Chains A and B, each alone.
Chain A
Amino acid sequence: MHPAFSVIFLTTLIGAAQGLFLALFTAQSYAAFKLLPQPDAHAFYGQGSLLALVLAALGLGASFFHLGHPERAWRAASQWRTSWLSREVIVLPAFMGLVFLYGLAHWLEWHPVLTTLPGGLPVDPTAILGVAGTVLAFALFVCTAMIYACLKFLAEWHSPLTVANYILLGGASGFTLAAAFATQTAPELVGFLAGWAAIITAVGFVSRCASLYRNCRLKPKSTLRTAIGVKHPKIVQKTQGFMGGSFNTREFFHGKSVALLRSIKWFFLLAAFLLPLALLVIGMQGGAAVLAMAFLIQYLGLLAERWFFFAQANHPQNLYYQSIA
Chain B
Amino acid sequence: MTQLALVIDLNVCVGCHACVTSCKEWNTSGSAGPMGDQNPYGADPTGTFFNRVQTFEVGEFPNTETVHFPKSCLHCEEPPCVPVCPTGASYKRKEDGIVLVDYDKCIGCKYCSWACPYGARELDEQQKVMKKCTLCVDRIYDMTMAPEDRKPSCVKACPTSARLFGDVHDPESAVSVAIRESGGYALMPEWGTHPANHYLPRRKTRIKIHEDELERADNPLKVDRQLPKPGMAEPTLDDVTTW
- Residues on the B chain within 8 Å of A243, using CB: 45
> Are B108 and A321 in contact, CB atoms less than 8 angstroms apart?
no
Smallest CB separation, B88 vs chain A (Å): 5
19 A/B residue pairs, CB under 8 Å, sorted by A: A67-B107, A70-B107, A75-B89, A77-B86, A78-B88, A79-B85, A82-B84, A150-B84, A153-B117, A222-B190, A228-B56, A230-B56, A230-B201, A234-B60, A241-B49, A243-B45, A316-B188, A317-B117, A317-B118
Residues A104-162 near B (CB distance < 8 A):
147, 150-154
CA distance A252 to B119 in the complex (A): 9
1/0 per residue B109-121: CB within 8 Å of A? 1110111111101
Contacts A236-B56, A237-B54 known; A226 to B119 CB distance under 8 Å? no
Q: Does A76 contact B (CB under 8 A)?
A: yes
- Residues on the B chain within 8 Å of A227, using CB: 187-188
> Are B188 and A68 in contact, CB atoms less than 8 angstroms apart?
no
Contacts A68-B128, A251-B110, A317-B117 known; A241 to B84 CB distance under 8 Å? no
> Are B123 and A240 in contact, CB atoms less than 8 angstroms apart?
no
CA distance A292 to B140 in the complex (A): 64
Q: Residue of B at shortest CB range from A148?
A: B114
Q: Does B169 contact A (CB under 8 A)?
A: no
- Residues on the A chain within 8 Å of B108, using CB: 67-69
1/0 per residue B29-48: CB within 8 Å of A? 00000000001000011111
What would 8 more interface pairs be, CB under 8 Å, given A83-B111, A252-B119? A66-B109, A67-B107, A69-B107, A75-B88, A153-B191, A241-B71, A315-B114, A315-B117
> Are A240 and B201 in contact, CB atoms less than 8 angstroms apart?
no
Residues A188-247 near B (CB distance < 8 A):
221-222, 224, 226-230, 232, 234-247
CA distance A76 to B85 in the complex (A): 8
CA distance A78 to B107 in the complex (A): 12
Residues B161-209 near A (CB distance < 8 A):
185-191, 199, 201-202
> Are B66 and A222 in contact, CB atoms less than 8 angstroms apart?
no
Smallest CB separation, B241 vs chain A (Å): 55
CA distance A69 to B89 in the complex (A): 13
Smallest CB separation, B133 vs chain A (Å): 14
* Complex interface: stretch among A27-35, A84-92, A175-183: A84-92
Q: Residue of A at shortest CB range from B38?
A: A244
> Are B52 and A240 in contact, CB atoms less than 8 angstroms apart?
yes
CA distance A246 to B67 in the complex (A): 22
Report, as a range, how many residues of chain B touch the other chain: 35 or more
CA distance A89 to B107 in the complex (A): 13
> Are B109 and A85 in contact, CB atoms less than 8 angstroms apart?
yes
CA distance A76 to B108 in the complex (A): 11
Interface size on A, residues (CB 8 A): 57
Q: Does A309 contact B (CB under 8 A)?
A: no
- Residues on the B chain within 8 Å of A278, using CB: none
Q: Does A184 contact B (CB under 8 A)?
A: no
Smallest CB separation, A199 vs chain B (Å): 34
Q: Does B12 contact A (CB under 8 A)?
A: no
- Residues on the B chain within 8 Å of A89, using CB: 86
Smallest CB separation, B38 vs chain A (Å): 9
- Residues on the A chain within 8 Å of B44, using CB: 244-245
- Residues on the A chain within 8 Å of B53, using CB: 241
Q: Does A285 contact B (CB under 8 A)?
A: no
Interface residues, chain A, CB within 8 Å of chain B? 1, 66-70, 72-73, 75-79, 82-86, 89, 147, 150-154, 221-222, 224, 226-230, 232, 234-248, 251-252, 315-318, 320-321
Contact with A79, one of B87, B113, B128, B187 (Cβ below 8 angstroms): B87
CA distance A284 to B48 in the complex (A): 56
- Residues on the B chain within 8 Å of A230, using CB: 56, 58, 67, 201-202
Interface residues, chain B, CB within 8 Å of chain A? 17, 20, 39, 44-49, 52-60, 66-67, 69, 71, 80, 82-89, 105-111, 113-119, 121-123, 125, 127-129, 185-191, 199, 201-202
CA distance A77 to B111 in the complex (A): 14
- Residues on the A chain within 8 Å of B106, using CB: 68-69, 72
> Are A83 and B118 in contact, CB atoms less than 8 angstroms apart?
no
- Residues on the A chain within 8 Å of B47, using CB: 246
- Residues on the A chain within 8 Å of B55, using CB: 237-239, 241
- Residues on the A chain within 8 Å of B105, using CB: 72, 75
> Are B52 and A76 in contact, CB atoms less than 8 angstroms apart?
no
- Residues on the A chain within 8 Å of B116, using CB: 317
> Are B113 and A247 in contact, CB atoms less than 8 angstroms apart?
yes
- Residues on the A chain within 8 Å of B191, using CB: 152-153, 221-222, 316
Smallest CB separation, A291 vs chain B (Å): 36
> Are A245 and B46 in contact, CB atoms less than 8 angstroms apart?
yes
- Residues on the B chain within 8 Å of A246, using CB: 46-47, 49, 122
Smallest CB separation, B198 vs chain A (Å): 9
CA distance A241 to B46 in the complex (A): 12
> Are A320 and B119 in contact, CB atoms less than 8 angstroms apart?
yes
